[in-house]
Amino acid sequence: MTRDEIFMQEALSLARQGLDEGEVPVGAVVVLGDRIIGRGFNRRESGKNALCHAELSAIDEACRNLGGWRLINCELFVTLEPCPMCAGAAINSRIKRVVYGTQDSKAGSCGSVTDLFALPYNHKPQTLSGVLEEECSGILREFFAQLRAKARERSDSCGVIICAEGTLWDESGELLTPDTKDELNELRENHKLLLVSDKSREEMAALLDRHALTDCFEGYASTSSSGMTKAECIRTIAKRYKHDRYYCIGSKDADRKASETSGVPFFRRRQAAGPNSAVAEKQAQS
């Protein structure tokens, strides 16, 4: 095993630590001579901080160990090609050499998307790519495979809440309670949310976009444009999405009747509370 591979193995060990903690598995070490003086792995989720990249953590520790910001004659080994932020940190800290395992086609800034080291900055680190590339890309594939499996599991287990118009905002388009959006995000953890409305698709799109809810709602135009009753809309949605569990949420007797006619359990939304309160007030289906 070469010297570069030995230090990349150390970076991979840190990446696996991140994998165990549910982070995108990227690991990095800063080396001076034959000594590791800085270590780091991606901690963006646990740290809730966009700056918690593996390279920045390793550079930070190296600077503290050396007692200065200049990492002259130091090398950075990282499992994934550095992003613009981390490539910039390598330039600013005067890293002599950057060695990375696998390319990043989305954010790589050492040759993939761009090459910051080729620009006329006052320092140009040397680069080497492809060291233990298969191992470095393999741990990323493992992470994203786990993520897709969890998403499928969640999708299979979630129900669908069909929201009647007037449940979420009033006629002026204002959300009914200030905390409704936060409550919707909580509901979205376990349910797919859809909206049944008499408005046209164009009108619905404008409302949804206004409240930045396009990712969790789908406008479904009913009586005014399609000729279907609200109950027929609910039945159509239930057939279309083929989930095992459906609920309808609303605030009017008409919503309850449409839900019961469709054979879908109904939740009444209290006028002064958000959708979570509605879910807590399930009405027994007759």
**Catalytic residue IDs:** 55
User: Torsion angle of alpha carbons 188, 143, 148, 276, nearest 10°?
Assistant: -10
Backbone angles phi, psi at 72, to 5 degrees: -65, 135
Q: Is 24 left (phi over 0), alpha (psi -120 to 50) or beta?
A: beta
Q: Starting at the edge strand that comes first in sequence, how are the strands of the sheet with 35-41 ordered?
A: 35-41, 27-32, 74-80, 97-102, 126-129
Q: Please tell me whether residue 78 adopts helix, strand or coil conformation.
A: strand
In angstroms, the CA 63 to CA 60 distance is: 5
In angstroms, the CA 138 to CA 73 distance is: 30
In angstroms, the CA 284 to CA 266 distance is: 8
**DSSP one-letter code for 51:** T
**DSSP one-letter code for 118:** G
Describe the chain by its helix, strand, coil percentages, rounded to 5: 45, 20, 35
Strands (E), the chain: 27-32, 35-41, 74-80, 97-102, 126-129, 159-164, 191-197, 219-221, 246-250, 266-268, 282-283
Comparing C-alpha atoms, which of 248, 67, 254 is closest to residue 162?
Answer: 248
Q: Please tell me whether residue 160 adopts helix, strand or coil conformation.
A: strand
